[in-house]
């Protein structure tokens, strides 16, 4: 029987466990390979990666429905790692040669091709966060998510290319912001924040001067911090004054920033990030684009723990293709916190009165998934 993959916290790793996926450094080099038996030294290396959870192989559990890994996630991860190498090279050569447009264009084309090959454009963004090298990681993640949203809109290949180029270069202006400000571990002063805000104008000017980069990409760099209510920057544009490319990148930018660890803040969970974005619909973010985002993201990945509004605790074992916010949950603990011995799965999509109340809840006592 093939191994089932179980997602566990890195702090719960033990010697003898078998790694269920490749782990990479910030430039895409394999540190530890799928199938390796973990030793104490390997566990230490994993814990240094800033990865909160990883997949291990588990042959022992037959109770939970066996889920085949989505091949799209696997291929997209490989392309994303290759993309980071190209972006890193482009950043290193930026001051000497300017933007290597051919490199960036090839990257975006490859991402578009791989995404278009998949009929179901729904991804687990956890797969995009194997490591945390923020500048590179963020640019690639924002590009991928923006392209997926563009595909759900039915954008032509040319429009996707324009969107992808703008998304992957949206923060290029930060190359001109002092590192000590970008990487400051505490809150920025008013003066420092004003300096950071200049990255939009810097990016626009860089891209306008770069041969082979069209005006759409330059405008995305300039306007990805504009907001519908006019309280964004640098031009305080409103609603229809902001083009759809910039609106899409704005949402992708905020989503990835919220769900990434930074020097000055810890990431928040996917459902909380999406909740924040939804709360800003019509004031900051376009309602239709937010709906597209919700259809693109697996809010509760397979293997994640959730608490229902019935007070029951369970494990996500399947995700609805109709609404990714309503997964199938296998109940592990009843409303009183007692272990459930009978096999019980609840499809929250077919039970409108049952909802996810919290994800990754903190458990009292010695809760161990291996006991189920």
Better-predicted residue by pLDDT, 112 or 359:
112
> Span 288-299, mean pLDDT?
84
Copy the structure tokens of residue 333. 């603990």
Higher model confidence: residue 41 or residue 371?
41
Same domain, 109 and 200: yes
59 pLDDT more than 90: no
- My answer on whether 153 and 249 are in the same domain is yes
More confident residue, 75 or 208: 208
Least confident stretch, 174-188, 261-275, 286-300: 261-275
- The answer to the question of residue 65 being in a domain is no
Residue at 207 is within a domain: yes
The whole-number pLDDT of residue 163 equals: 97
Tell me, yes or no, whether 96 and 226 share the same domain.
yes
* Arithmetic mean of pLDDT, 276-298: 89
Q: Looking at residue 145, what is its pLDDT?
A: 92
Question: Is residue 281's pLDDT more than 80?
Answer: yes
Q: Are residues 146 and 184 in the same domain?
A: yes
Q: What are phi and psi of 235, to 5 degrees?
A: -105, -5
Same domain, 270 and 360: no
Q: Is residue 225 part of a domain?
A: yes
For residue 156, give Cα distances in angstroms to 109, 153, 247, 304, 353.
13, 9, 18, 35, 40
**Domain termination site, one of 296, 331, 351:** 296
> What residue numbers bound the domain in which 364 lies?
305-371
Asked which of 109-123, 247-261, 293-307 is least confident by mean pLDDT, the reply is: 109-123
Between residues 116 and 338, the one the model is more confident about? 338
| Residue 333, domain member (yes or no) | yes
Tens of pLDDT, residue by residue over 15-39, are 888 888 777 765 555 677 777 888 8
Last residue of a domain, one of 250, 267, 296: 296
| Token pair in block for residue 221 | 């760099």
318 and 251 housed in the same domain:
no
- Domain end, chosen from 262, 296, 330, is at 296
Summarised one tens digit per residue, pLDDT across range 73-110 is 444 555 656 665 656 555 555 544 556 677 788 888 88
pLDDT at 278 over 70: yes
Residue 132 has what pLDDT? 39
Q: What is the spatial distance between Cα 52 and Cα 15, in angstroms, rounded to a whole number?
A: 18
Q: The domain that contains 25 carries what CATH number?
A: 3.90.105.10
Helix ranges, the chain (H): 40-47, 71-97, 101-116, 134-152, 157-168, 179-182, 190-197, 199-209, 215-223, 244-258, 270-279, 287-296
- Indicate whether 327 and 189 sit together in one domain: no
Percent of the chain with pLDDT over 90: 28
Nearest-CA neighbor of 34 among 48, 17, 50, 49?
17
First to last CA, the chain: 19
Total tally of structural domains belonging to the chain: 3
Tell me: do 103 and 12 sit in the same domain.
Answer: no
For 213-259, how does the pLDDT look when each residue is reduced to its tens digit (9 = 90+)? 889 999 999 999 999 999 999 999 999 999 999 999 999 999 999 98
Average pLDDT over residues 188-216: 93
Query: Is 64 among the domain residues?
Result: no
Q: Residues 198, 265: one domain?
A: yes
Q: State residue 62's pLDDT score.
A: 34
If one compares 343 and 143, the residue with the highest pLDDT of the two is 143
Same domain, yes or no, for 76 and 50? no
In the block, tokens 């997602």 appear at: 7
Sequence length of the chain is: 372
Percentage of the chain beyond pLDDT 70 is 74
233 and 319 housed in the same domain? no
Average pLDDT value for the chain: 78
At residue 7, does pLDDT exceed 90?
A: no
Same domain, 258 and 348: no
Strands 356-359 and 305-308: antiparallel
Q: Is position 66 within any domain?
A: no
| pLDDT in the model for residue 64 | 33
Phi, psi for 371 (deg, rounded to 5): -80, -5
For 347-368, what is the mean pLDDT? 70
CATH assignment of the domain containing 195: 1.10.3210.10
């Amino acid at each position: 029987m093939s191994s089932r993959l179980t997602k566990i916290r890195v702090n719960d790793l033990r010697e003898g466990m078998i790694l269920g996926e490749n782990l990479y450094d910030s430039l895409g080099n394999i540190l530890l390979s799928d199938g390796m038996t973990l030793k104490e030294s390997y566990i230490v290396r994993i814990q240094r990666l800033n990865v909160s959870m990883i997949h291990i192989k588990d042959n022992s559990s037959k109770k939970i429905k066996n889920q085949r890994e989505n091949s799209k996630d696997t291929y997209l991860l490989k392309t994303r790692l290759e993309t980071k190498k190209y972006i890193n090279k482009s950043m290193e050569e930026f001051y000497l040669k300017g933007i290597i447009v051919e490199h960036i264009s090839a990257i975006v084309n490859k991402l578009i091709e791989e995404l278009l090959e998949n009929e179901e454009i729904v991804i687990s963004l956890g797969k995009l966060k194997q490591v945390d090298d923020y500048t590179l990681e963020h640019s690639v993640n924002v590009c991928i998510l923006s392209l997926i949203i563009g595909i759900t809109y039915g954008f032509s290949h040319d429009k996707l290319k324009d969107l992808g180029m703008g998304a992957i270069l949206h923060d290029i202006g930060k190359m001109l912001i002092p590192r000590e400000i970008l990487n400051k571990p505490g809150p920025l002063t008013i003066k420092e924040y004003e300096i950071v805000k200049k990255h939009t104008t810097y990016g626009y000017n860089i891209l306008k001067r770069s041969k082979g980069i069209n005006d759409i990409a330059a405008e995305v760099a300039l306007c990805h911090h504009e907001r519908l209510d006019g309280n964004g920057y640098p031009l305080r544009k409103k609603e229809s004054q902001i083009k759809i490319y910039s609106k899409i990148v704005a949402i992708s930018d905020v989503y990835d920033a919220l769900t990434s660890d930074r020097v000055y803040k810890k990431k928040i969970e996917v459902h909380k990030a999406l909740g924040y974005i939804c709360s800003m619909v019509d004031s900051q973010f376009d309602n239709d684009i937010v709906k597209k985002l919700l259809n693109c993201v697996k809010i509760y990945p397979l293997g994640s723990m959730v608490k229902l509004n019935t007070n029951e605790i369970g494990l996500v074992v399947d995700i609805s293709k109709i609404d990714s916010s309503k997964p199938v949950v296998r109940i592990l603990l009843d409303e009183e916190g007692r272990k459930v011995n009978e096999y019980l799965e609840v499809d929250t999509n077919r039970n409108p009165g049952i909802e996810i109340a919290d994800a990754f809840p903190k458990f009292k006592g010695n809760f161990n998934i291996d006991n189920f």
